[in-house]
Amino acid sequence: MITSDARPGQTVVIVEDEPIVRLQAEILIEELGLPVASYERADEALDFIAADVSRIGTIFTDICLPGTLDGLAFADQVFARWPWIQIIIVSGTADPDEEDLPPNARFLAKPWRPLDVIAALSFKSH
Confidence of residue 47 (pLDDT cuts 50, 70, 90): very high
What is the Cα–Cα distance from 27 to 46, expressed in whole angstroms? 22
* Per-residue pLDDT, 122: 84
Q: What mean pLDDT do residues 3-16 have?
A: 74
Sequence letter at residue 10: Q
What is the Cα–Cα distance from 76 to 102, expressed in whole angstroms? 6
pLDDT over 70 for what percent of the chain?
A: 90
Sequence letter at residue 36: V
Give the CATH number of domain 11-122; options: 3.40.50.2300, 3.40.50.300, 3.40.1390.20, 3.40.50.1100: 3.40.50.2300
Check if the beta carbon of residue 81 is closer than 8 Å to that of residue 114: no
What is the Cα–Cα distance from 69 to 71, expressed in whole angstroms? 7
Domains of the chain, by residue range, sit at 11-122
Answer whether 0.85 is exceeded by the pTM: yes
Give the other-Cβ count within 10 Å of 95's Cβ: 10
